[in-house]
Amino acid sequence: MASDAGSAPPSWEGRRGFAFALLGAGLASYILVTLNQSLPRGALDFDQVWWAARCILEGSDPYQVIRPPNFYFRLYYPLTSGVLALPLAPLDFRDARLVFVAVSGGLYGYAIGRHRPWLWPTFLGLPFVLFATGGQWSALLSAALLLPWLGFVAVAKPNLGLAVLAGMRSPRAALLLVNGSLLLLMASVLVEPGWPLAWLDALRQSTHFRPLILRPGGVLMLLALLRWRDPDARLLLGLAVVPTTGLPYDLLPAGLVARNRLEAGALALLTQIAWIVAPGYPAREPYAEWSWQAGIATLWGSLIPPLALVLWRAWGEGRGPLAPAGPSGDYSAGPADQPVPPPTDAAN
């Protein structure tokens, strides 16, 4: 008698995904608790998002409330981020931090565990560490590259979301991201119709959001155009041209271009080395000048090495940088709705 499909045991990929989810959630939580959980309210980027969610519930304008001297910066996130954080608004800010980081790290772990298990060294790279210490969105957006149904998170951090959209490996995945983002955007406008103007005003007054491509050596990222049909190259170029603070946490998606354990480990190690030999924490004043210098280390440690890998891969496969990327552009591991080629020997 045929077994009930609903009672079928989980696949090996699914079990591995859940194991990686536990690893990602546990590691991210440990990093946060060890390094930054004791910091006062307002010290982490996520604290702004959590407070914006509280403002929504209270009916106040977060763009008027979240600004110095109560916070280090004005609210530079769109209100969509606050809408997503509404379930965490009733929690104490430290509990909310922990839940957000654990869930984000868990989803990132599930995504790579299920679809690209050789990427486990990315847990040790500086982008993952800084995601956890600051409560950043980069883990969720990295997971969206492998779990297309998670694409709606892109509108919580649109600059990084645009880069992720450029790196989507199929029209279906891109459509899920766009449609989910539009739904969340409409919901946020219903909550507070005037927030886009207030958000743009805050961004206009910022001085530290600049694309990495403008840093010394950033012009090299234009070489990604030689592989414009390759989603990995498009992702890396997107990460180079969107405005960012220059800190490595937004470069977590760049590590996903690795095809085996050795490549993933090398890229993760380079992210750490770049910040050992270059300006690191704590941040210094003026912040805009420091973030510019930090962005140089980020560019050379977290973005140019993945690009070099993508270009070398094209030459190594005997196709040359201008050759087509192949059917469906699938010359590197894809998300759930694309076939995943087997990893090379170094992944075993």
255 pLDDT higher than 80: yes
Could you give the C-alpha distances from 189 to 78, 82, 186, 197, in angstroms and in order? 11, 12, 5, 11
Using only C-alpha atoms, the chain has a radius of gyration, in whole angstroms, of: 20
Task: Give the model's pLDDT for residue 307.
Answer: 98
Q: In the structure encoding, which two tokens stand for residue 347, read together? A: 């992944």
Which amino acid is it at 249?
A: Y
Q: Could you state, in order of their start, the residue ranges of all structural domains in the chain?
A: 12-347
Lowest mean pLDDT among 116-120, 200-204, 335-339: 335-339
334 pLDDT higher than 60: no
221 pLDDT higher than 80: yes
5 pLDDT higher than 50: no
Give φ, ψ of 169 to 5 degrees.
-100, 0
Model confidence at 32, pLDDT cuts 50, 70, 90, reads very high
Contacts of 327 (CB under 8 A, 6+ apart): none
Lowest mean pLDDT among 39-48, 114-123, 287-296, 321-330: 321-330
**pLDDT digits over 38-82, tens only?**
887 878 899 999 999 999 999 999 999 998 887 888 999 999 999
Task: Give the model's pLDDT for residue 264.
Answer: 98
278 closest CA partner among 216, 223, 236: 216
Task: Give the model's pLDDT for residue 336.
Answer: 42
Contact 210, 246 (CB under 8 A): yes
pTM summary value: 0.88
Task: Give the model's pLDDT for residue 208.
Answer: 87
**pLDDT digits over 158-196, tens only?**
999 999 999 999 999 999 999 999 999 999 999 999 999
61 vs 327, more confident:
61
Task: Give the model's pLDDT for residue 348.
Answer: 39
Model confidence at 289, pLDDT cuts 50, 70, 90, reads confident
Report d(CA 97, CA 42) in Å as an integer: 11
Task: Give the model's pLDDT for residue 6.
Answer: 46
296 vs 330, more confident:
296
Q: Is 86 helix (H, G, I), strand (E, B) or coil?
A: helix
Model confidence at 103, pLDDT cuts 50, 70, 90, reads very high
Contacts of 311 (CB under 8 A, 6+ apart): 223, 226, 227, 321
Report d(CA 303, CA 300) in Å as an integer: 6
